[in-house]
Structure 1
Amino acid sequence: MFAVGRYRVERVTDGVRSHVADEVAVEEPLEIRIAGCPPWRTMRTPGDDIDLALGWLVSEGAITSADEVFSAQECSSGEGLERASSVDITLREGVQPPLARSYAASSSCGVCGSDTNLDVLSRCTWPLGEVKTQVSPEVLLSFPDQLCESQRGFGRTGGLHAAGLFVAVTGERLIVREDVGRHNAVDKVIGWALREGQLPGSGLVLQVSSRASFELVQKAATAGIPILSTVSAPTSMAIELARTAHLSLACFVRGTTFNVYSEPERISNSS
């Protein structure tokens, strides 16, 4: 599900002006509220907000099972720029909320409160070092096209990232979510996986329609997903964290080629 806004705009083509209706990806603030903690705020595309909140909690190492959440409720009020939305989470007794540094996150970065690779590894309940999952080059190269086929929001607006979870062995597409923020799209699919009992995602590949950043590697690692595939370039911190966490990082996955920056043994030989 995605939200689309419609605006009347002036288009200029070869110097000729015309008025047309343009569809635009919706971006609105969301607060995630956990009792006794400051609210965490992000800018996101409305839709699948509970999954986003659950995925964020997984990424922060707070929960590993849907059973650790007593309740999750969406609330919203107002319209336009005055619209306010939140997800109110109650954790079960004994479940600790994210550390205070987690609430330093902004709309453009999901891990601004994190400091080092060791901080991330300390939150990884499911270490990846012993995960033997493999994906063939042919299957891996099919994921960007499968992702694109599901990007209905991007097709209409050109303004949304997408993330998807795929079965490594068969290439089956399990879930795709879109959002203006790539880290939000990833949180949405991880939250879905949590609810569906798919975590740890040891047999899955996370495919993203963007570059590979530190935050995306962090989210895959904390969800127990051993392979992250992106259509664009990695950053240096993404590579370093992937190598430290023993996560396979494949980037520039397009057409018939890709680069593997860590744990290449999870990419099997061609069939």
Structure 2
Amino acid sequence: MGRLVQRVKATRIDITGGRRVVREESLAVEEPLEVRLGHDSFSVTMRTPGDDFDLVAGFLVSEGIIFEPEQLISLRFCAGEDENGQQTFNVVEAQLRPDVAMPLPAAHRHVTTSSACGICGTASIDAVRKSSHFTRSAAVDEPFVSAAVLAALPDTLREQQKLFDKTGGVHAAGLFAPDGELLSLREDVGRHNAVDKVVGAAFRDRQLPLGKTILQVSGRASFELVQKAAMAGVPMLAAVSAPSSLAVELAQEAGVTLVGFSRGNTLNVYTHPGRVG
């Protein structure tokens, strides 16, 4: 397993005092991860090493390729070495059940995603509308979490961010029960990767669809995070910052309660507010 933190030297400048001090800083590691379906390369994403099998499983769920654990036969690291001859663990091969509908050939589908954002756009909108295997909850207006519990989730998430404490440079996604219990938390330089890791862990534990849970994320609520929540059957996505207009549009259509600006004693519920008591 690759390291999560790298020590580097930085010159710290104190503008007020006019001082310059060279010291070591801890940075979150960012490395590429290639995802292969069988022997075919499918995607490359920039991520923080760790929970890579969860990341790949969650990514495949988000892409609508798999939705049942039996469809994923195995996950394994492929051989790969850096310039020092050390195993990099930067290639994961997923073996799917033969009857799983394969995506477009690698030559047409292969993309590189950054840690800033994942795959989004018209094709992704169509995918989430057509490929989600978990139906929208009929109880759209049934409260299952209180506003007070919802408002407290960002603080709970932040308290458990061990990698952020060391580096200050990663996002987090946490899956919560209606009473505020933290069920799962993952950190990554990419917010979409953190969500995929949470979804993938639940998928591998046979917990999908994730009914009556809240997915709390650091940062903003993008279209893609709503897409990932919908593909995993998550009924509520909450963020500490703002949602985008497309995120609200998709959440409304997909039956996802979208919460933004969840800070302190206030929050905004943009879609399906009946789930918040």
Same-fold call, TM > 0.5? Answer: yes
Contact 1:105 1:112 in 2 (8 A): no
1:78 aligns with 2:85: no
| Counterpart AA for 1:189 | V
1:93 corresponds to which residue?
98
Whole-Å Cα distance in 2 between the matches of residues 116 and 44 of structure 1?
20
1:192 corresponds to which residue?
201
1:145 corresponds to which residue?
155
Whole-Å Cα distance in 2 between the matches of residues 150 and 98 of structure 1?
36
1:229 aligns with 2:229: no
Match for residue 251 of structure 2 among 222, 237, 242: 242
2:67 corresponds to which residue?
64
- SS of the equivalent of 1:12 reads strand
1:104 aligns with 2:149: no
Contact 2:39 2:93 in 1 (8 A): no
Unaligned runs of 5+ in 2: none
Deviation string, structure 1 residues 155-182 (Cα, Å, up to 9, x no partner):
11110000010012x2111110000000
Match for residue 161 of structure 1 among 168, 171, 187: 171
Match for residue 258 of structure 1 among 263, 267, 273: 267
Tell me the TM-score normalised to structure 2 length: 0.90
1:201 corresponds to which residue?
210
Deviation string, structure 1 residues 181-232 (Cα, Å, up to 9, x no partner):
0000000000000011211001211000010000000000000000000000
1:22 corresponds to which residue?
25
Unaligned runs of 5+ in 1: none
- Give the drift of 1:149: 1.0
- SS of the equivalent of 2:123 reads coil
**Percent identity between the aligned chains?**
47
1:12 aligns with 2:25: no
- Give the drift of 1:23: 0.3
Q: How does 1:96-135 map to 2 (within 5 A)?
A: 96-99=101-104, 103-104=110-111, 106-107=113-114, 108-112=116-120, 114-115=122-123, 117-131=125-139, 132=142, 134-135=144-145
- Regions of 4+ moved over 6 Å: none
Equivalences, count: 266
| Larger deviation, residues 31-40 vs 218-227 | 31-40
Whole-Å Cα distance in 2 between the matches of residues 201 and 84 of structure 1?
29
